[in-house]
Amino acid sequence: MHKRLSLYFALLLAFPLFITAQTVMSPELLWQLGRVSLDAVSPDGKQVLYGVTHYDIGENKGSRALYVMDLETQTPNLLLDVPSSLSGGQYFPDGKRIGFLMDGQFYSVATNGADLQQHTDIAGGIFAAKVMGSKDGLRLLFGKKVKAFENTADKYPGLPKANAFVIDDLMYRHWDHWSDEFVNHLCIATLPLMGMTSAYTDLNEGEPYHTPQVPFGGSADYDFHNNKVVYSSKKLTGKDYATSTNTEVYLHDLTSATVTNLSEGLPGYDQHPVFSPDGKFVAWNSMATPGFESDVNDIILYDLKTKKRYHVLKELGRYKDLTFNNVQWGKDAKTLYASVPIDGTVQLVKISIRQFNSKGFNATLTFETEGQYNFGSFGLAGNQLIAERQDMNNATELFLVDGISKSGTQLTNVNTGIYQRIGKSKIEKRMVPTSDGKEMLTWVIYPPDFDATKKYPALLYCQGGPQSQVSQFYSFRWNFQLMAAAGYIVVAPNRRGLPGFGEEWNAAISGDWGGQPMRDYLAAIDHVAAEPFVDENSLGAVGASYGGYSVYLLAGIHENRFKALISHCGLFNMDSWYGTTEELFFANHDIGGPYWETPLPKAYTEYNPIKYVDQWTAPILVIHGGKDFRVPENQGMEAFQAAQLRNIPSKFLYFPEEGHWVLKPQNGLIWHHEFFSWLDGWLK
Residue 285 has what pLDDT?
98
Position 214 pLDDT exceeds 50 = yes
> Active site residue: 545, 550, 567, 650, which one?
545
- Dihedral angle of Cα 435, 546, 650, 666, to the nearest 10 degrees: 130
The domain tally of the chain equals 1
Whichever domain contains 664, its CATH number is 3.40.50.1820
Section 33-42 average pLDDT: 98
29 lies in some domain? no
Position 5 pLDDT exceeds 80 = no
Residue 19 has what pLDDT?
39
> Active site residue: 39, 176, 298, 628, which one?
628
The DSSP element (H or E) to which 55 belongs, if any, is: strand 47-56
Cα(366)–Cα(311) distance, rounded to whole angstroms? 18
> What does the pLDDT look like over 589-602, one tens digit per residue?
999 999 999 999 99
Residue 404 has what pLDDT?
83
Residue 258 has what pLDDT?
98
Position 106 pLDDT exceeds 60 = yes
Q: Enumerate residues 6+ apart whose C-beta is below 8 A from 323.
A: 296, 297, 340, 341, 499, 500, 506
Q: Among 155, 164, 152, 168, which residue's Cα sits nearest to residue 238?
A: 168
Classify residue 135 by its DSSP letter. Answer: T
Position 290 pLDDT exceeds 70 = yes
275 lies in some domain? no
Q: What is the largest CA-CA distance in the chain?
A: 76
Cα(471)–Cα(494) distance, rounded to whole angstroms? 8
Section 445-469 average pLDDT: 97
240 is catalytic: no
Q: Where does the pLDDT of residue 362 fall: very low under 50, low under 70, confident under 90, or very high at 90 and above?
A: confident
Residue 84 has what pLDDT?
81
Residue 356 has what pLDDT?
75
Position 72 pLDDT exceeds 50 = yes
Section 311-330 average pLDDT: 91
Residue 8 has what pLDDT?
39
565 lies in some domain? yes
Position 21 pLDDT exceeds 80 = no
Cα(244)–Cα(232) distance, rounded to whole angstroms? 15
Higher pLDDT, 222 or 360: 222
> What does the pLDDT look like over 461-507, one tens digit per residue?
999 999 999 999 999 999 999 999 999 999 999 999 999 999 999 99
Q: Among 44, 45, 88, which residue's Cα sits nearest to residue 66?
A: 88
> What does the pLDDT look like over 414-443, one tens digit per residue?
999 999 999 999 999 999 999 999 999 999
561 lies in some domain? yes
Residue 393 has what pLDDT?
98
545 is catalytic: yes
74 lies in some domain? no
327 lies in some domain? no
482 lies in some domain? yes
Alpha-carbon 391 to chain mean position: 16
Classify residue 609 by its DSSP letter. Answer: G
Helices and strands of the chain, counted as H and E runs: 13, 38
Residue 193 has what pLDDT?
86
Residue 3 has what pLDDT?
37
Cα(425)–Cα(482) distance, rounded to whole angstroms? 9
Angle between helices 2-14 and 665-683 (to 10 degrees): 130
288 lies in some domain? no
Strand order across the beta sheet in which 270-275 lies? 270-275, 281-286, 298-303, 308-311
> Active site residue: 185, 660, 672, 673, which one?
660
Cα(311)–Cα(82) distance, rounded to whole angstroms? 45
Pairs from 215-221 (Cβ < 8 Å, separation ≥ 24)? 215/174, 215/175, 215/176, 215/177, 217/128, 217/143, 217/184, 218/127, 218/128, 218/143, 219/88, 219/128, 219/129, 219/130, 219/141, 220/271, 220/272, 221/128, 221/186, 221/271, 221/272, 221/273
Higher pLDDT, 109 or 2: 109
Higher pLDDT, 156 or 317: 156
pLDDT above 70 covers a percentage of the chain that reads 97
| Inter-residue contact 638 to 652 (CB < 8 Å) | no
Question: What ranges in 33-166 are assigned the alpha helix state H?
Answer: 152-155
Q: Where does the pLDDT of residue 203 fall: very low under 50, low under 70, confident under 90, or very high at 90 and above?
A: very high
Which range marks the domain in which residue 551 is found? Answer: 423-683
CA atoms within 13 A on the CB side of 15: 7
According to DSSP, the residues that pair with 220 across neighbouring strands are none
628 is catalytic: yes
Residue 134 has what pLDDT?
77
